[in-house]
Structure 1
Amino acid sequence: MDRRQLLSGAGLAGLAVVLKACGVASDPAAEPGAASGAPKRGGVLRAGSPPPPTAVDPVTMYDGTAIAIVQLVAEYLIWLDQDFKLVPRLAESWQPADGGKRWTFKLRPGVTFSDGTPLDAETVKASFDRLLDPASKSAALSAFATVLKAGGVRVATPDSVEFTLERPFSDFPYLVSAGNYNALILKRDYAGDFTKAAVGTGPFVLKSYNASTGAVFARNEKYWDAGRPYLDGVEIKFYADDQADLLALQGGDIDAQILSRPDLAKPLAGTGAIAADTVKGTGVTVLTLRTDQAPFDRKEVRQAVAYGLGRPAILDSIGSGVGDLGNDHLIAPLFPAAPADLPQRALDRAKVAELLKTAGLTELRFTLTFEPPAKDYAVTIQNQLQQVGITVELDQRSSKDFYGGDQSKDTPWLNTAANLVGWAGRAVPSQLVIPMVKSGGTWNGSKYANPALDAAADAYDTAATDADRKAAAATVAKILHEDVPVIIAYWSGAVRAYNPRKFRGVRAHPAQYVDFSTVSKA
């Protein structure tokens, strides 16, 4: 897994979070939750997706298709739903102790794997021991980072597991949820080759897999949630590109997409037999400014760039209108602790001129470095800033070059004066704040260091109440909004296109996760 895939989830998945979906369909009665009566059982849902670029392995996967395949078969202790809530799955409850440094999870009784093996605490411990082993090369290691280390998991009772953390962390349940997409519970003897012998506790059983054509699933007759899934099965078909996938949906060869592109799918919503369910998210492309060298060592210069951007236009053109405006801090609107009283920064030409004058500059020129997926965004920034008298030279690198080099001294994405980096959605603010802007953060490309910010971030992590958490988050947001080491113009969202005349209950997810256990025939 390369650095770009770890940060942006290959543009498809990552540590994700969700908000309420609002769908647009040609048939309102077919929208999720709108139809009345009992779900109609039966049917096979055909879904399109690109082929996975690497092996489908729950421990090491990072792409959206592999994650979708595995999530049909295996489960997490906790799921993240479209309301940004933690939903009990294999764990039915969890409790903190020692100020949030120790957590105990009680397992759901009566759960078995599809081969009949009972779920127990030893199995859960083995799953996390596997992820915490550096030899596993799992992306989950970056999520646990400074919070949970190898040896921190023990069996408390046959049906409960205890996690002892490196430090108090009030949002720890998110790290063992679907927000940490590798944190699936697998059998104790799992040793790879998932597609050859896929065993899980999930709603479906993998019947066949072909790396070129797709995967076929049947309902799991041993599923713990009585009565579900409603479908007889799921078939995932692989398509080489987004256009072919969408044409298959239009032509009736598939009934839904796993990975819909908002700019392609959203315009088709309400036309023919296509609906598009939409969610907001916490995925973000960050404009990072080096605070330790001119010209961005002056706060006024960084603020000038921030005031030179027209955020609604960026959200509409680059974000396809799906998402939220950004306000130059890392507490996304979807996080429960997001501040509501911080004034929204907006385009202000007079303010740009005033700030540059205060910094002693008659003009501002800088180079913006980026990789190909961010090209349209880079061009938009260049055009908008030109309108306020700031000149931006574009420096496009290949993704390999952008994330290559020595991560400690010369890799472009961490060491150029200004750059654009895509981050997949995170489950909690700390997963953005700690690596990106905290002093000495692993991926602190701005080289920003502020003891007040560090203290506020620590206070957020250890907060015992929602009120304390919101107070700490407000301080983090205020500091970042004022100092502007990173510019957040918008937070991205996601779309899932489907045929509402055939199925209901198909929902979008910002990380493109799938939960087809409640999908039924229309």
Structure 2
Amino acid sequence: MTHHKRPLAMARPTRRAFIGTTAAVAGLASVGTLAGLKPARAQTRGGTIRVAKGHGNTNDSLDPATWTNGFTVALAFGMHGFLTKVATDGSLDPDVAESWEASSDAKSWRFKIRPGMTFHSGKPVTLDDVIASVNYHRGENSTSVAKPLVAAIVDIKKDGEDTVVFDLETGSADFPFVFTDYHMAICPADDSGSIDWRSGDGCGSYRLTNFDPGVVAEFERFQDDWNQERGWFDAVEMLSIVDLNARTTALVSGEVDAIDKLDLKTVALLGRNAGVKIHSIAGPQYYSFAARADTAPLDDVNVRLALKHAINREELVEKILFGHGTVGNDQPIGPSYRFHNPDYEQTPYDPDKAKYYLQQAGLDGLTVKLSAADAAFPGAVDAAVLYQNAAGAAGIKIDVNRVPNDGYWSDVWLKHPFCAVYWGGRPTADQIFTTAYESGAAWNDSKWSNARFDELLVAARAELDEAKRREMYYEMQQIVSQDGGTVLPMFANFVFATNDKIVQGEFASNFDMDGERWMERWSFA
């Protein structure tokens, strides 16, 4: 093995330089910077930030295997440590792991764990905690939605006092990015070898002091955090306010300092309020309609193609996103991804082509029920109505089933045959494909399965030749676009608002609200 360690003062490697070549992977190591990109203004400690999130359910839990929405993602990144994390520029930063290295075939990875770290309870962070936290998502009995991400791990073992070794079934050039997933929190190991998640004991920059699911989570700064260049607030109050009007009013009235999931129809008006700042960040987020490919008539690829030609994507970008986004092409690897194919032909709105595919399916027309709520994404119900109107010209009758916001992610998503969905994206193509499109994945919301896609997914993950890997991801994008069960009409910018008291640096684009790491990155002026 080779190991090239760089001093902290040196510039962070770009993501392309980090995983771009076989040579880089062979000696892959990272140290990164401690605080990410510096803000435009100096940061000072103090104050309580209050943030209203358009997410949160009464059945939310502290169990990392179950986190599904922006409220629990922000909670995870605020209170927990992770082996690695996505930096503001999309590269990889250290956290609980201070460095890592790979074997020449990227099948064995060594992570050196940061010394002297403690949980909020005062308990030291040990190798056993790291191993138990990763194993929690592995194995036949695991119900974690992160299970596919760690499926390639065949063995985890200690090496000395400070190193964890992961042996993989096949090579994985992007393996360190797996641990940036918000489910992969490092929790204390319990006596059974599992993890203690119920206590809320973490090793992140904030300690959880109160958690009322679907209502509020409260935190206080962890004074003994290993990184004193983050966690600037004394305290954090994160409110679940799913109602858009209530959330917006709370910002304008000064009751909260930031909100997400804005009403894009009125975002320009909101920005005219004194002290309100609008932020629109392009990234991997997409809004889609998941069609269950295991349920008739959606199990016919011709029906799915008809639905894809029956949606007016440009109209949705204009009337739902109001320009805060771009047209999608029924697959998730958009322009923000390294392996995006910019030359793949766009599926157009074409009612005649949709009729043709219905004929190929032996149908004269089609009636489908589409479930939607604005909990899925802002304007989801309006988007479903626009889809209904456009599809009518193709002889497709879409019955819009408006369902309640509360319980949408537990009662509708993954259960109704055709429903509105948003995905925040993932830092790599492998991660979003593995989480949402691999056969049998818990969050494969179209229940789609394709043997060639699954074969390429494993091969691309292990391929260290950049050009060959790109070819594989290009083919996978085409397979998902043409065969998959996801109607993906648009990539949506992350649009959120803060008051002018907030100080921040360059916003991360890998997830909403600064990669949902606003707790540790932002401060008051």
TM-score, normalising length from structure 2? Answer: 0.75
Superposition map of 1:228-377 within 5 A: 228-237=230-239, 239=241, 241-257=243-259, 259-263=260-264, 266-267=267-268, 268-279=270-281, 280-288=283-291, 290=293, 297=300, 299=302, 302-319=304-321, 321-348=323-350, 355=356, 359=360, 363-372=364-373, 373=376, 375-377=381-383
Q: Secondary structure at the match of 1:104?
A: strand
Q: Aligned-pair distance for 1:250? A: 0.9
Asked if 1 retains the 8 angstrom alpha-carbon contact of 2:63 and 2:198, the reply is no
Counterpart in 2 of 1:202? 204
Counterpart AA for 1:89: D
Counterpart in 2 of 1:121? 127
Q: 1:496 to 1:398 in 2, by over 3 A?
A: closer
Q: 1:283 to 1:153 in 2, by over 3 A?
A: farther
Q: Secondary structure at the match of 1:367?
A: strand
Asked if 2 retains the 8 angstrom alpha-carbon contact of 1:378 and 1:420, the reply is no
Q: 1:310 to 1:242 in 2, by over 3 A?
A: closer
Alpha-carbon distance between aligned partners in 1 of 2:212 and 2:391, rounded to the nearest angstrom? 48
> Between the two proteins, what is the percent identity of the paired residues?
23
Asked if 1 retains the 8 angstrom alpha-carbon contact of 2:209 and 2:218, the reply is yes
Counterpart AA for 1:323: G
CA displacement, residues 365-393 of structure 1 (integer Å, 9 cap, x when unaligned): 3424435455433322121122x433224
Q: Aligned-pair distance for 1:338? A: 0.9
Q: 1:367 to 1:113 in 2, by over 3 A?
A: closer
Find out whether 1:159 has 2:162 as its counterpart: yes
**Unmatched runs of 5 consecutive residues or more in structure 1:** 1-17, 19-31
TM-score, normalising length from structure 1? Answer: 0.75
Alpha-carbon distance between aligned partners in 2 of 1:187 and 1:434, rounded to the nearest angstrom? 27
Q: Secondary structure at the match of 2:520?
A: coil
Asked if 2 retains the 8 angstrom alpha-carbon contact of 1:216 and 1:234, the reply is yes
Report the aligned-residue RMSD: 4.1
Q: 1:284 to 1:168 in 2, by over 3 A?
A: farther
Asked if 2 retains the 8 angstrom alpha-carbon contact of 1:283 and 1:426, the reply is yes
Asked if 2 retains the 8 angstrom alpha-carbon contact of 1:494 and 1:508, the reply is no
Find out whether 1:521 has 2:524 as its counterpart: yes
Counterpart in 2 of 1:460? 460
Q: Aligned-pair distance for 1:498? A: 1.0
Alpha-carbon distance between aligned partners in 1 of 2:246 and 2:327, rounded to the nearest angstrom? 31
Asked if 2 retains the 8 angstrom alpha-carbon contact of 1:58 and 1:67, the reply is no
Counterpart AA for 1:341: D
Alpha-carbon distance between aligned partners in 2 of 1:35 and 1:499, rounded to the nearest angstrom? 16
Q: Secondary structure at the match of 1:473?
A: helix
Alpha-carbon distance between aligned partners in 2 of 1:64 and 1:320, rounded to the nearest angstrom? 22
Q: Secondary structure at the match of 2:59?
A: coil
Asked if 1 retains the 8 angstrom alpha-carbon contact of 2:286 and 2:332, the reply is no
Counterpart AA for 2:138: L
Alpha-carbon distance between aligned partners in 1 of 2:148 and 2:357, rounded to the nearest angstrom? 39
Alpha-carbon distance between aligned partners in 2 of 1:447 and 1:426, rounded to the nearest angstrom? 18
Q: Secondary structure at the match of 1:106?
A: strand
Alpha-carbon distance between aligned partners in 2 of 1:484 and 1:320, rounded to the nearest angstrom? 27
Alpha-carbon distance between aligned partners in 1 of 2:331 and 2:482, rounded to the nearest angstrom? 9
Q: 1:108 to 1:394 in 2, by over 3 A?
A: same
Find out whether 1:170 has 2:173 as its counterpart: yes
Asked if 2 retains the 8 angstrom alpha-carbon contact of 1:40 and 1:230, the reply is yes
Asked if 1 retains the 8 angstrom alpha-carbon contact of 2:286 and 2:492, the reply is yes
Choose 389-398 or 123-132, whichever is displaced more: 389-398
Asked if 1 retains the 8 angstrom alpha-carbon contact of 2:208 and 2:218, the reply is yes
Alpha-carbon distance between aligned partners in 2 of 1:398 and 1:273, rounded to the nearest angstrom? 35
Counterpart in 1 of 2:62? 57
**Unmatched runs of 5 consecutive residues or more in structure 2:** 1-14, 16-35
Q: Secondary structure at the match of 1:314?
A: helix
Q: Secondary structure at the match of 1:378?
A: helix
Q: Secondary structure at the match of 1:68?
A: helix
Superposition map of 1:71-220 within 5 A: 71-97=77-103, 99-132=105-138, 137-144=143-150, 146-148=151-153, 152-177=155-180, 179=181, 181-189=182-190, 191-195=196-200, 198=201, 200-208=202-210, 214-220=216-222
Alpha-carbon distance between aligned partners in 2 of 1:433 and 1:218, rounded to the nearest angstrom? 36
Q: Secondary structure at the match of 1:339?
A: coil
Q: Aligned-pair distance for 1:255? A: 1.4
